[in-house]
Amino acid sequence: MGNQSVLATKNLLFDHGSTRRAIKDRLTHVCVTLGGTMVFVALLMIFFYLLYVIKPIFDGANITPVISINEMGNTPALMVGSDEQNQVLYRVSKQGHAYFYSAKTGLLLSEKQVAIPKGVTVISSAISVASKQLFALGLSNGQVMLVGIDFNVSYPNNKKTITAQFSYPAGAAPITLDAQGSAITHLAFDFTDEKMSFVYQDEKGIWHLTREDGEENMMTEEVEWQSAQSIIPDTPVRVQQQIMLPDQKQLLLRSNNKLFVYKIDDIEAISLVQVLELDRNNTNVISVSLLAGASSLLVSYDNGLIQQYFQVNGAKGRQYQEIRDFNIQGTSDVIASEFYRKGFATVDKEGALTLLYTTSQRTLFAKNFKVDNVDLTDPTAIGFSPRANALIVESNKQLHLFSVDNAHPEVSWSAMWDKVWYEGYPEPKYVWQSTSGADDFEAKLSLTPLAFGTLKAALYAMLFATPLALAGAIYTAYFMSPKVRAIVKPTIEIMEALPTVILGFLAGLWLAPLVEDHLPGILTLFILMPLSILSTAFVWYELPLKWKQRLPDTYQELLLLPVICFVTWFSFAISPALEVVFFGGDSRLYITNVLGMTFNQRNALVVGIAMGFAVIPTIFSIAEDAIFSVPRHLSNGSLALGATTWQTLTRVVLLTASPGIFSAVMMGLGRAVGETMIVLMATGNTAIMEWSVFQGMRTLAANIAVEMPESAIGSSHYRVLFLAAFVLFIFTFVFNTIAEVVRQRLRERYSSL
Amino acid sequence: MGKWFKSGSPWIWMTSGAVSICLLSVLGLLLLIAVKGLSYFWPDNIYQWQLTDPQGQEYRLIGEIYDSEEVPTERLIAAGRQLDPNVGKMVTRYLVKTGNREFVDLDFRWILGSDIISRSQPKDVAVIERSKNGDFFGFPVAVIEDGTRLTGVALHSTLQSHIDRAVKLNDQARALQKEDIGSINYALEKLRLKERGYELDNALTSERKKALDAQKATLNEQYKMLEARFFDLRKEAARDALIIRDMRGKDITLPIDSILEVTYANQLSFIDKVGHWFTGMGKFISQDPREANTEGGVFPAIFGTVFMVLLMAVMVTPFGVIAAIYLHEYAKKDWVTKLIRIAVINLAGVPSIVYGVFGLGFFVYMLGGSIDALFYPEALPAPTFGSPGVLWSALTLAILTLPVVIVSTEEGLSRIPSSVRQGSLALGATKAETLWRIIIPMASPAIMTGLILAVARAAGEVAPLMLVGVVKLAPTLPIDMNFPFVHLERKFMHLGFHIYDVGFQSPNVEAARPLVYATSFLLVSVIVGLNLTAIGVRNHLREKYRSLEH
């Protein structure tokens, strides 16, 4: 009875234990499986995270209507716009009457009229570039009023309040332009703190330029203006549009389909420098407007064509030239340029709103908002908000506010991989120039020169590494005695573990000056090395047998070590002498002057050698494994049939191992493409596109390392750098996957042999 | 000859030549680094030259020979140098380190062999290592103690005792500043964050505020006291000065508290030099860097590298081992396994900079940003974990080195004979038990190998770290005496980055180059050492299992 109960408890315990063990077993299984899949998840996560960051640059813009305000004003609009926070909208009429509306409620906040002398009327008006928010009114007595729109932020009762008002940057008193008192019938102007210029047409139809140079009075700290006047020669009879560039050095007068360009920087020597024919297939120009930065003109035609023009340096000096076309559906009546970026928006007669970007040549958004009950037909004015995140359109006595979500308009597939014609460049080019000190700088984000640099560096490295590594692998795997192999293989493989920062440092600070000083020596080395190995071999072949027997066959490589050392030393030793004899004492000068090539100290040759060394162990190790694991009976069979060792090697062994060798080269290429530190340190990191061995390059990887820490999160630059990383990821993914698949095939084939 | 070519023998020689070239370049590279790195600590002789300049003026130069080379005369003439036509086709050029940075335009200059009139090795020239402005070469004249010039004393021993005194005082001051004052600053910052935290929770009652203010006041008081002591120490250290004659023959007064060491290099015997060499290496490893990293030691960089790598090892080992066990013991031969294998290969092949980009975006900005928003709102907008730091670096490198651990562990697993597994299962053990009791213990050397290789890889990797946490100069180590003692959010210094930074970003590359070689040598020896250990462990393992199989 007692015994039984003991047994029962034991059984119970055992059962209990076994369930616990089973659970433990199960649990381990689940954990291990989970852990194993984590690796895959990690790779997927990298892939998708990169994509997630990159995606927004390819998204178009989004524009949504916010509010439509019924207008009070009757006179035609001169300009519309908003403050930086998009809280107050304004509309200024051609008579100098301004309305300010709240963007939240649509209510009128205030109404202001520019104060003009009594008995005088406003005849003409003009606006400056959008970013200055300035306008001027030409009066009937020959005077002009210069007015700006200012927003003040105050916190009454701890509530942020924005109030709008007029400012008078050149003083509240009107400026007299025409001494005779003739009415200002047409006006163009621009203003800076030191200088302002007005171009106007008087009643007789004569065009004048008035320039005021300001100088700060030391005592009163007030600006005193010094005026000068001149007549503009060679003007067309009918002028539809007059534009002054904000640098006050150029005046543009449009007469129908002709654009007259005047140089006005020197008031004593105003001249007509170009007459630009804008005639295109019997269409007529509607308007000319300036793009942000005021280097480009946007010319819109009545058939929906919009053309960009800017000045290009040519035989006749800087002349305006047609750069690129945009086509919209209808006729674009009004155009607004962003304040700082090179984008613009337009609304056609039918009310369709289109958002475009010049350099990336993208149509970011196009929609007719009639479907949302926002009618934009016959638009009269359009303007961007200062941060380009809102758009204000006036049509049919309504002011419409749209919010604009347009983070990365400057990036497009064509801007990254095709040639782009940037302002100030003589021709379309691949340019990578992401940052600059200037404010109005346009980032040029072409990945082509970087991809080119990556391939160039990889190519030179492979040129150097592949022959050495493969030949070395062949000898080590096929000819070397096992004892020597056991030392040689790990020694070369140790090099793979060598930090690339050290290779880069040596390449940049030791090898680069060495190569520069001993160019002829390097050249001789490349020629002399194989020759000397061959002649050593021949001498050995001709030696009497007695001598040969002293050294076993398998120790050939030992014989070569001193030869190689000597040849290297010799090449460097005679280098200065060769330099004197062949290159006139200075090979650098010879290359630049006689060969006409640019020479950088940190060039592709240095990178090729240094990165070659980083790649050699990768190729060597995999290729050696592949050759070594070719089954011995294959080569033995070949040898038994009377083939020489060399024949056996080339016809049997290498052929069988070729997929493995291919995968070795692929792996090496993958490593060379992604290598960062060596390229970063051993090249000048300039993004040029030259195959020359004496010039440097900038690679994708080095570029990321240099620029990533200083790029702002979420900016186009940041995302394009992620794209560069993604490109590298895909590059190496493809190489590695091919290599791995090939290698697995090979393994299966061997196992069947 | 034709027959010889036909036999293929020359091509075999060529392949053997390739091996020899590879081998020689590996060894040559290691030798180059070793020689250049180790010679940095060797005290060189100091020379004094009488030279003529191109105008025919005579002048004197004192310095150390850094480098020499043969230059074709024509190149020099092309560069605009006027030369005596009968100096020959080649002329020797020496790179001389003259030191005395604040008194000469260039502390390195090239002199031509043809300009040298005479060269000597004056016995009493002293090399003065300073905490600022690099080395000074000159002849000590007298010691000034507290404003009075000491006469009638043994110059060398007096100088030495005064320097020892100043060094000791400076050390005390530095310790005070780093430890005591540093921890007070840390406590003050903690209090500020606490207050801000209360404010954010709307829980800053007046009692709490009073208590915090009281704590702050005591800390500030302590701070003032310590500061006063610190300035006393510094003032005390600045008491003495040394008058020394430089190569222009001018007497210059150097404050003794800027002097770290005086060596009479030309008086040292060989044994002295060896001793000097060892102490130099010791200082290099144990001291903080000076002069924008171009002088002094690399201790923080060693510490940062080791700490980061250990942290990484802790993270990568479990994942790597589990993944390897899955692949080798549990996975079926299906497409999932194939996918995972391809993933492993690709993880190994993806360029390291891509990991850096991923780490910066995902770990630092996304994960770190979320952690900050959740746990450290009081510190915002200053990021805590939302900026690059040692934790994110370790995590990034853990993904980077994951394949290394997997591959190595799997290789170890595959060497365990299946008979062992089957035996265990036949005796009634479950698979999990077999794994825990038999397989993992047997594979542990392989895991160790993988770990060592991963550590070696991580120690040498720089590119991703430049994005996720390494800095040129970290003011504090990631471990210190302030609670919670381990600060994973801090930025750190790294040997590899130190090499890049000093070699390429420092204003005086010429002066910093030997130090970069020394740092390189340190890094290379650590990494090669780790790799050799791994190879040794692996070979030992192979031998062990070979005997098991039969």
CA pair distance A196, A145, nearest whole angstrom: 12
- Shared-domain flag, residues A503 and A357: no
Confidence bin at B353 (pLDDT 50/70/90): very high
- Shared-domain flag, residues A258 and A172: yes
Contact (CB<8Å) B355/A46: yes
Q: Is the pLDDT of residue A1 over 60?
A: no
DSSP A441: P
- Shared-domain flag, residues A458 and A405: no
- Shared-domain flag, residues A210 and A268: yes
Contacts with B456 from chain A: Cβ below 8 Å: 497
**Closest partner CB to A708 (pick from B16, B348, B360):** B360
Token readout for A663 is 């995968």
Residue whose C-alpha is closest to residue A279's, from A304, A251, A299: A299
Residue of A nearest to B466 (CA): A705
pLDDT in tens, A241-272: 899 988 888 899 998 888 999 998 888 888 88
Contact (CB<8Å) A471/B17: yes
Q: Is A82 left (phi over 0), alpha (psi -120 to 50) or beta?
A: beta
pLDDT value of position A9: 44
Contacts with B23 from chain A: Cβ below 8 Å: 488, 491-492, 557, 561
Contact (CB<8Å) A589/B78: yes
Are A288 and A280 in contact, with CB atoms under 8 Å apart?
A: no
How far does the CA of residue A655 sit from the closest CA of chain B (Å)? Answer: 17
Where is the domain boundary, A417, A439, A457? A417
Q: Is the pLDDT of residue A2 over 60?
A: no
Contacts with B472 from chain A: Cβ below 8 Å: none
Alpha carbon B249 to chain centroid, angstroms: 38
Could you give the C-alpha distances from A744 to A632, B106, B333, in angstroms and in order? Answer: 20, 60, 14
Alpha carbon B117 to chain centroid, angstroms: 42
Tell whether B455 is within 8 A of chain A (Cβ): no
Confidence bin at A753 (pLDDT 50/70/90): low
- Shared-domain flag, residues A545 and A468: yes
- Shared-domain flag, residues A265 and A306: yes
pLDDT in tens, A662-694: 989 998 999 899 889 999 998 888 888 888 888
Contact (CB<8Å) B456/A580: no
Strands B58-72 and A195-201: unpaired
User: Could you write out the DSSP letters of every residue in A674-724?
Assistant: H--HHHHHHS---------TTS----HHHHHHHHGGGSPTTSHHHHHHHHH
CATH number of A487's domain: 1.10.3720.10
How far does the CA of residue B139 sit from the closest CA of chain A (Å)? Answer: 34
CA pair distance B137, B135, nearest whole angstrom: 7
Are A140 and A134 in contact, with CB atoms under 8 Å apart?
A: no
Where is the domain boundary, A395, A417, A439? A417
Confidence bin at B549 (pLDDT 50/70/90): low
Number of residues that make up chain B: 550
Contact (CB<8Å) A505/B503: yes
Beta strands in B173-258 (DSSP E): 241-245, 251-255
Token readout for A275 is 């007459």
Contact (CB<8Å) B462/A40: no
Where is the domain boundary, A401, A417, A433? A417
In a domain, A5, yes or no: no
In a domain, A46, yes or no: no
In a domain, A748, yes or no: yes
DSSP B368: I
Contacts with B69 from chain A: Cβ below 8 Å: 517
- Shared-domain flag, residues A409 and A505: no
Are A229 and A243 in contact, with CB atoms under 8 Å apart?
A: no
- Shared-domain flag, residues A557 and A620: yes
Q: Is the pLDDT of residue A3 over 90?
A: no
A433-453: b (≥16 Cβ within 10 Å) or e: ebeeeeeeebbbbbbbbbbbb
CA pair distance A540, A253, nearest whole angstrom: 87
In a domain, A32, yes or no: no
Contact (CB<8Å) B19/A488: yes
Rounded average pLDDT over A225-236: 86
The number of beta carbons lying within 10 Å of the beta carbon of residue A550 is 7
Strands B136-145 and B126-130: antiparallel
User: Could you write out the DSSP letters of every residue in A197-225?
Assistant: EEEEE-TTS-EEEEEEEEEE-TTT--EEE
- Shared-domain flag, residues A493 and A633: yes
pLDDT in tens, A523-565: 889 999 999 988 888 888 887 777 777 766 666 667 888 888 9
- Residue from B12, B364, B501 whose CB has the most chain A CBs within 10 Å, to mutate: B12
Task: Look up residue A597 and give its amino acid.
Answer: M
In the 3-class helix/strand/coil scheme, how is B8-69 assigned residue by residue?
CHHHHHHHHHHHHHHHHHHHHHHHHHHHHHHHCCCCCCCEEEEEECCCCCEEEEEEEEEEEE
pTM of the complete model: 0.89
In a domain, A3, yes or no: no
- Those of residues 398-437 in B touching chain A at CB distance below 8 A are 399, 402, 406, 430-433, 435-436
Residue whose C-alpha is closest to residue B242's, from B220, B217, B261: B261
Report the mean per-residue pLDDT for chain A.
Answer: 86
- Residue from A476, A485, A489, A498 whose CB has the most chain B CBs within 10 Å, to mutate: A498
Q: A388: domain range?
A: 62-417
CA pair distance A403, A725, nearest whole angstrom: 32
- Shared-domain flag, residues A378 and A485: no
How far does the CA of residue A619 sit from the closest CA of chain B (Å)? Answer: 12
- Those of residues 57-96 in B touching chain A at CB distance below 8 A are 69-75, 77-78, 89-90
pLDDT value of position A553: 63
Contacts with B325 from chain A: Cβ below 8 Å: 32, 35-36
CA pair distance A80, A88, nearest whole angstrom: 11
Per the listing, tokens 């001389």 go with B96
In a domain, A696, yes or no: yes
pLDDT in tens, B454-487: 988 898 899 999 999 888 888 888 888 777 888 8
Contact (CB<8Å) A586/B78: yes
How far does the CA of residue A663 sit from the closest CA of chain B (Å)? Answer: 12
pLDDT value of position A315: 82
Percent of chain A with pLDDT over 70: 96
pLDDT in tens, B31-43: 999 999 898 888 8
The strand pairing partners of A745, in sequence order, are: none
Per the listing, tokens 């049997």 go with A652
Are A89 and A99 in contact, with CB atoms under 8 Å apart?
A: no
**Closest partner CB to B326 (pick from A21, A35, A505):** A35
Percent of chain A with pLDDT over 90: 17
Q: Domain count for chain A, please give it.
A: 2
Contact (CB<8Å) A733/B350: yes
Radius of gyration over alpha carbons of chain B, in Å? Answer: 31
- Shared-domain flag, residues A373 and A484: no
Q: Is the pLDDT of residue A94 over 60?
A: yes
Residue whose C-alpha is closest to residue A699's, from A605, A614, A607: A607
CATH number of A397's domain: 2.130.10.10
In a domain, A49, yes or no: no
Q: Is the pLDDT of residue A363 over 60?
A: yes
- For chains A and B, count residue pairs whose Cβ atoms are closer than 8 Å: 335
Q: Is the pLDDT of residue A521 over 70?
A: yes
HSE (CB half, 13 Å, CA atoms) of A364?
Answer: 28
Alpha carbon B344 to chain centroid, angstroms: 31
Percent of chain B with pLDDT over 90: 21
- Shared-domain flag, residues A380 and A512: no
